[in-house]
Structure 1
Amino acid sequence: MTVWRTARPWVTRTAVAAVVVTAYFVLPLDHLGPGRPVLSWTVFGLLLTCVAGLLLRQVRHVLTERPGTRPGLAIALLMVLSVHVFAAAYYALARQPGEFSGLRTRVDGLYFTVVTLATVGYGDITPRGQAARVVTVVQIGYTFVFLTAAATALSQRVRGVVLGRTGGRG
């Protein structure tokens, strides 16, 4: 039973991450985009706001060393979710002619999100239209504020667990 207790958090994390990735590839994103701009922008804004709020909540839990919480698990999964929200937005935007060059598939959307997040910028996918550029700027700002705070809190949490300062795991 001890092995399961140790492995269970990792199995849970892997399963939830797999669900997020699978959902990205199977959700009907073709219903979003240029044909339904109000719905598309509303869904994008609501998802980002929810994920940002949940990330900030988890960061607060780390900073206050709130007992009985598992912010490590939540932060990692929320970071994965935020990457997929931006990837879905890019994929939906790419259906509008002139918004992107080089972005045609969901994998392209995910790739562009990660390349932008990592500030690599290979140049093979380029935001050309104003909406694509706005979402890219939003992603960069979101990364600076929310994902940086989340990554810092996550590393602080891991450091605390390794040094034995917190009672929780993950």
Structure 2
Amino acid sequence: MTSAVLVAAYYLLPLDQEFNLATILVLVGGILAVALLLAWQIREITLAPRPELRAMEALATSAPLYMLLFATTYYLMGRSAASSFSETLSRTDSLYFTVTVFSTVGFGDITPRSEAARLLVTGQMVVNVLLIGVAARLLVSAVQRGRLQQNLPPPGARDTGPPYDG
């Protein structure tokens, strides 16, 4: 549900401001907000009755928010300086480009052309590595801690029943 609201906001909110230093500061603030959201969610995972489900909810909120921050930034950059990318970016193009960079697919159909665009994409790639590596590890650890605190069996463990006295 949260993901749908975020995507709807991305398409419906007016994005008519210029790309400038304030845009970069909002992006950095947004990334910090995602980090704080993840930290709070990690704490909640350890306390949740179903930590795996809570971890999936955390990913379903944090990942789209993170990607929409970059998509918005790319969209504003493309509007302010059309030569920043190999083609004019619509909102959908900006989201598509963000997802291809995030997923490391990089089809090459949309490419950054300006130095500023290349720096921004490089920044996204660096944060992607941190997000995927560090955040994923922290989420898995939080699930494990939550399960231990509740004395839940590890995922995939079978209940073998009482020992055989035969």
**Please, what TM-score do these two structures have when normalized by structure 2?**
0.74
Match of 1:106 in 2: 91
Q: Distance in 1 between matches of 2:22 and 2:92?
A: 23
Q: 1:148 to 1:103 in 2, by over 3 A?
A: farther
Q: Give the Cα–Cα distance (whole angstroms) in 1 for the partners of residues 116 and 77 of structure 2.
A: 8
1:29 aligned to 15, 38, 43, which one?
15
Once the 2 structures are TM-superposed, how far is the Cα of residue 71 of structure 1 from its aligned partner?
A: 4.0
Amino acid at match of 1:136: V
- Structure-2 residue corresponding to 1:4: none
SS of 1:121's partner is coil
Instruction: Report the Cα distance in structure 2 between the residues aligned to 1:107 and 1:16, rounded to whole angstroms.
Output: 19
Give 1:149's aligned residue: 134
Of residues 100, 112, 117, the one that matches 2:102 is: 117
Question: Which amino acid in structure 1 is aligned with residue 59 of structure 2?
Answer: I
Deviation at 1:46, TM superposition (A): 1.0
Look up the match of 2:6.
20
Structure 1: give runs of 5+ residues left out of the alignment.
1-14
Q: Could you tell me whether the CA contact under 8 Å between 2:3 and 2:60 is conserved in 1?
A: no
Partners in 2 of 1:128 and 1:18 — Cα distance?
A: 31
TM-superposed CA distance for 1:26, in Å, is 1.2
State the partner residue of 1:66.
46
Letter in 2 for 1:133: R
- Percent identical among aligned pairs is 35
In structure 1, what is the equivalent of residue 21 of structure 2?
38
AA partner of residue 57 (structure 2): L
Structure possessing the higher radius of gyration over alpha carbons: 2
**Equivalent pair of 2:102/2:125 in contact (CA under 8 Å):** yes
TM-score for the superposition, normalised by structure 1: 0.72
* Count of residues paired in the alignment: 145
CA–CA distance in structure 2, aligned partners of residues 42 and 115 of structure 1: 23
- CA RMSD in angstroms comes to 2.8
Report what 1:7 is aligned to. none
Give the Å deviation of 1:17.
0.9
Residue 138, structure 1, aligned to residue 123, structure 2: yes
- In structure 2, the gaps of 5 or more residues are 155-166
SS in 2 for 1:109: helix
Check 1:103–1:114 CA distance in 2 against 1; reply closer, same or farther (3 A cut): farther
What is the 5 A alignment of 1:69-108? Answer: 70-95=54-79, 96-108=81-93
Q: Is the 8 A contact 2:82 2:88 kept in 1?
A: no
